[in-house]
């Protein structure tokens, strides 16, 4: 077990000034993008996703919601958000959208992740811990995840924010519990999401994080839900940094950053698509092998909400992936 005094290693410290990086992967990120990620643990990249795909995904989310009784222009139907999700973070159980799949297999997104992996986790390092083995930064797999469609909080839709949390065990991020007796299902050291709508100011339900944790690294935490550690009592909203995002911006962040969606959403509907690419290590290869069943059947992961596991099965047709998409989905070897 990691000693509690060492916990700050597993919460991203600001100002790493880490410079072993020497680029061999050519991609869409500038050196400034990469330096920003290295220094503060996140970076916002505009223009990575074609606008027509962003628009198409947004429209397909609305169609999915309407199919299940939610109309954006009719507040009396917003109670039906409970038909498409548990409400946590505005997450809805829409995973197999056609536009979302096109976004997942974009070469630009793949290469951006490759550039960040090359600069950080492709080898074990004091600042970028990796106990799962070195990997080629250009070889990765796509985790099929859901998306966010959150109504204005003032209208009492059955939704809520995420609360401030870490998506890892800060005592040992490569185990699910403090005792070190349960292994991760998959390893996602760099997380990513596409802003499908604007969230430009506080009160829009947007993304917040906390990068300046050198003096505030928690010393006594308990894991409360899966691989997440709740930090609401340690990082109140006024200490969180709001990250403004325009429609089409892509946000990458280090898995060690405390983060949240805002409690209040006064600015209208917010949409986000989560797109995570996983390093090519054995743990993730095993996970992607299990994920193939989802591609074949249209079901959802069995570790997500059991209530909605079959919500997209009716009428499901497997997507026709590009050659890169087949690599990302484990349908053909790298």
Q: Is 137 helix (H, G, I), strand (E, B) or coil?
A: coil
Domains in the chain: ranges and CATH: 4-328 (2.60.120.330)
**Around 114, how many Cα atoms within 13 Å sit in the side-chain half-sphere?**
18
Residues 69, 194, 59: CA angle, nearest 5 degrees: 35
Q: Is 276 helix (H, G, I), strand (E, B) or coil?
A: strand
Spatial distance between the Cα atoms of 311 and 228, rounded to a whole number of angstroms: 25
Residue 87 region by backbone torsions, left for phi larger than 0, else alpha for psi between -120 and 50, else beta: left
Q: What pLDDT is attached to residue 17?
A: 43
pTM of the model: 0.89
For the chain, 334 residues long, the average pLDDT of each consecutive 10-residue run is 34 46 81 92 95 98 96 92 83 95 98 96 89 96 94 68 75 67 83 93 74 48 56 72 92 88 77 96 96 96 88 96 98 96
Residue 227 region by backbone torsions, left for phi larger than 0, else alpha for psi between -120 and 50, else beta: alpha
Spatial distance between the Cα atoms of 260 and 202, rounded to a whole number of angstroms: 13
Q: What pLDDT is attached to residue 201?
A: 83
């Amino acid at each position: 077990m990691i000693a509690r005094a060492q916990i700050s290693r597993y919460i991203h410290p600001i100002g790493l000034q880490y410079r072993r990086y020497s680029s061999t992967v050519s991609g869409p990120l500038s050196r400034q993008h990469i330096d920003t990620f290295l220094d503060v643990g996140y970076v916002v990249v505009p223009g990575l996703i074609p606008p027509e795909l962003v628009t198409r995904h947004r429209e397909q989310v609305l169609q999915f919601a309407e199919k299940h009784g939610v109309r954006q222009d009719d507040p009396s139907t917003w109670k039906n958000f409970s038909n498409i999700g548990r409400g946590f973070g505005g997450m809805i159980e829409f995973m197999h959208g056609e536009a979302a799949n096109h976004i997942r297999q974009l070469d630009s997104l793949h290469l951006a992740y490759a550039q960040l992996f090359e600069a950080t986790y492709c080898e074990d390092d004091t600042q970028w811990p990796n106990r799962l083995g070195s990997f080629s930064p250009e070889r990765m797999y796509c985790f099929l995840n859901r998306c966010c469609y959150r109504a204005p909080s003032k209208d009492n839709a059955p939704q809520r924010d995420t609360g401030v949390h870490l998506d890892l065990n800060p005592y040992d991020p490569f185990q699910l519990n403090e005792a070190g007796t349960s292994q991760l299902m998959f390893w996602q050291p760099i997380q990513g999401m596409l802003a499908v709508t604007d969230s430009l100011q506080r009160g829009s339900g947007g993304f917040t994080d906390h990068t300046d944790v050198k003096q505030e690294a928690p010393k006594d935490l308990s894991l409360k839900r899966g691989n997440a550690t709740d930090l609401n009592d340690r990082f109140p909203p006024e200490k969180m940094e709001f990250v403004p995002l325009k429609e089409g911006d892509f946000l990458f962040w280090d898995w060690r950053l405390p983060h949240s969606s805002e409690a209040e959403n006064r600015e209208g509907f917010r949409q986000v698509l989560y797109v995570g690419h996983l390093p090519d290590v054995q743990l993730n290869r095993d996970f992607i092998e299990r994920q193939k069943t989802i591609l074949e059947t249209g079901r959802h992961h069995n570790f997500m909400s059991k209530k909605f596991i079959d919500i997209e099965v009716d009428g499901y047709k497997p997507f026709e992936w590009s050659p890169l998409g087949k690599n990302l989905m484990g349908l053909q070897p790298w």
